[in-house]
Amino acid sequence: MKRKLFAVSIVVVGVVLASSCGSYKDDLYKICHAQRLSGAAPDSGLAGSAEWLKANLSTRKSKELMQQLAVTGSIEVMRAEVAANGVAPCPLLDPR
């Protein structure tokens, strides 16, 4: 169920078009903490913060990651990126 909600939420995010400067690790942090940072309702999933993410992700790599997640729906892709870039904790992946 959690994977399906994650996949549906990612699809809502879609293609993020705006581009500016910032680090990929910062963007991963933003994705992981999107609900809190955006002020979205705790039970809204990533869909509740989709507009905030569109406005606040700054790297091409993070936008490509969001596109990849929308296509594959694989939570493992996000888990691998977060681990490889030392972003912890990630409430999106491991809600408490």
The reported pTM is 0.73
Q: Mind listing the pLDDT tens digit for each residue in 22-72?
A: 899 999 999 999 999 999 987 777 778 888 998 999 999 999 998 888 888
Say if 13 falls within a structural domain: yes
Q: How many domains does the chain have?
A: 1
Q: Let me know if residue 96 belongs to a domain.
A: no
Residue 19, Ramachandran bin (φ over 0: left; ψ between -120 and 50: alpha; else beta): beta
Contact 10, 17 (CB under 8 A): no
Residue 95 lies in a domain: no
Q: Which domain holds residue 21?
A: 2-84
Classify residue 93: in a domain, yes or no: no
